[in-house]
Chain A
């Protein structure tokens, strides 16, 4: 009997009844009201038009982030907020409703144009999206709605401003609002919904320094009593370094910095402070709007361009990493026969030793000294098998590069141990000529093992057609001033193409080869500050020389 539903189920059932757009609609209602209050606060009295009217832009941002089917709910949610904000200011009801229509119209046009070209919620992560936003939401929508708005004002007979003056004032106010508010909301929404990845404390400190500096400069330039002596146009450039800094930090930081400067500038002018004060309200508003628009558009585009480039680079890096891993796994696949050999050898020793011991015990002629010797051999063979697995584990793993101090000779020995099974099944003899006491290198162990293993496997493959007595692999290590060299030499057939072609991606002589091994090996060595060169040897065979910068000897 389950008469009492669990409380968690009840909560879930209640939650399921709530439409998904409801939280967004509530946020729009509250946001719209606050945005209207901010708009009033940024109005230069007695001029009736705000320098920056944020509610329309907030509505546009909400639509740009929402699914198209919930747009009507969001527009409807703005109505009570609109009425509440506007009716307090003593405007006739017909005018208030008219403005609601033109505000909604602006948001709808701006969002619809963007939605026609960009699928899903708008993200300012490419220049294409930024351009569509600028032309659609920040230019076309305010343009159309300003005409409608001014016409409504005239029809209803509110105020005595000239039609074109109204259009112009509304247009610039709305453009600046779209440019300031929409990127702010859209970029922060993207930050909030992106997969959280570790933000370093240094990044927070940098942002704090940037915004403190910007605020300080904006207050000094825009929010202090204005004196003619300080009227040099140069002061307008004072925030520029901070805006550039913000652009480098990303679109969200850039949009925030621009919003901060915009609010500081208008706030100063509204309070009779800063370089824009002291003219007629219309002139002050227009000058500020032009100045702020001219600053915002290029900064926003710059931040998006920088973010797009770094994203493309990040994606390319990730692809390279995957490709490196893929080629490593493919190489290990080629080695699988050798690995089977390498594991079967110790397994054979373990099994045969154990069975020998069973025989001795069964025949009651077990010599304890012999038994303990057998057990010691079993332990040693088992450890050897474990080492094979351990050596493979790191190579199969996919991970970020991890640089450490490494002994090149040890690396060579480890790689040859890994390839030992493959070399044995191919009947290849190995000659290690390692210079003792080589200086160490700073490198990623897995990547460097991949390079050496690739060279060893290639050398082994090149000697497939050699008579068995000639199957000799030489691995040499040497040091010269500031560098170490590892030379992998085979007695195979050499190569028939130019060394450049050899390192090209997708060049391969193996029927099942990907043709990526050498190309990836070369890029790994280059990334380590070294060089990978190939030469054909007189009398047959090839030599591949890895040169790496050596660490200074301790």
Chain B
């Protein structure tokens, strides 16, 4: 079963996403901050990361930069409740594989996750 990590500073959102992914047959774990996730990912690396953009302390963009700095090619779906015109490009340039606006379209989210989950093993074998 693919393992998905969720990072969002807002508890109700975190909880709801974890439920949705679990109900869709995925294994999901959620984290309240980028820092919490980065620490935990050292122990168990998820197949895909669902990452909120606007968070106090460490933003989603910084998490992407940290992952890149650590040469961790982790498929990441960035989600955000508010964005500016250039945000999408910034995230994709920083290594995000998909960029979705909240409230999340369930199909788009699951498609983005499954596309990455399927693709990532191939990439790893290359």
- Chain A positions near chain B (C-beta within 8 angstroms): 337-338, 340-342, 344-353, 355-357, 359-360, 363, 374, 377, 380-381, 384, 421, 423-430, 468-469, 471
Contacts and interface: CB of A to CB of B under 8 A. Distances in A.
Contact of B103 (A347, A356, A363, A421): A347
Contact of B104 (A352, A423, A469): A352
B121 interface: no
Nearest to B79: A348
Contacts of A427: 54-57, 59
B15 A468 contact: no
Given A338-B82, A351-B16, A352-B20, 14 more contacts: A340-B82, A345-B13, A349-B12, A349-B13, A350-B16, A350-B103, A352-B16, A353-B15, A356-B23, A359-B23, A363-B23, A468-B58, A468-B59, A471-B56
Interface in B34-91: 54-59, 62, 79, 81-82, 84
A348 B82 contact: no
B17 interface: yes
B54 A341 contact: yes
A424 B56 contact: yes
Nearest to B62: A468
Contacts of A380: 12
B118 to A, nearest CB: 20
Could you tell me the dominant secondary structure of chain A's interface residues? helix
A330 B71 CA distance: 45
A412 to B, nearest CB: 18
Nearest to B105: A351
A426 B56 CA distance: 8
A350 B102 CA distance: 11
Contacts of B106: 351-352, 355
B54 A424 contact: yes
Contacts of B17: 348, 352
Contacts of A426: 54
Nearest to A421: B82
B81 A341 contact: yes
8 contacts: A338-B82, A348-B79, A348-B104, A352-B103, A352-B106, A353-B16, A423-B56, A428-B56
Contacts of B81: 340-342, 344-345, 348, 421, 425
Contacts of A469: 57
A352 B19 contact: yes
A27 to B, nearest CB: 66
B13 to A, nearest CB: 5
Contact of B15 (A338, A377, A471): A377
Contacts of B103: 344, 347-348, 350-352
List the 7 closest pairs (A to B, CB-CB), nearest first: A359-B23, A344-B81, A341-B82, A352-B16, A356-B19, A349-B12, A348-B102
B12 A346 contact: yes
A67 to B, nearest CB: 58
B24 interface: yes
B57 A345 contact: no
Contacts of B84: 337
A348 B6 CA distance: 14
Contacts of B15: 349, 353, 377
Query: For A347, A352, A427, A469, which residue has the most chain B Cβ atoms within 10 angstroms?
Result: A352
Contacts of B24: 359
Interface string B12-35: 110111011011100000000000
Query: For A341, A363, A469, which residue has the most chain B Cβ atoms within 10 angstroms?
Result: A341
A468 B60 CA distance: 12
A338 B82 CA distance: 7
A111 B59 CA distance: 76
Given A344-B102, A348-B102, A468-B62, A337 B57 contact: no
B22 A356 contact: yes
B25 to A, nearest CB: 8
Nearest to A338: B82
A380 B13 CA distance: 12
Nearest to A427: B59
A368 to B, nearest CB: 15
B82 A359 contact: no
A226 B69 CA distance: 110
Contacts of A353: 15-16, 19-20
A335 to B, nearest CB: 11
A384 B104 CA distance: 18
A453 B109 CA distance: 35
Given A344-B81, A347-B103, A356 B20 contact: yes
Interface string B85-122: 00000000000000001111010000000000000000
Given A337-B82, A338-B82, A344-B81, A429 B22 contact: no
A483 B55 CA distance: 36
A374 B82 contact: no
Contacts of B101: 344
Nearest to A471: B56
Contacts of A428: 56
A421 B81 CA distance: 9
A342 B80 CA distance: 11
A468 B116 CA distance: 30
Query: For B9, B22, B54, B57, which residue has the most chain A Cβ atoms within 10 angstroms?
Result: B54
Given A341-B81, A344-B103, A345-B81, A352 B55 contact: no
Contacts of B102: 344-345, 347-348
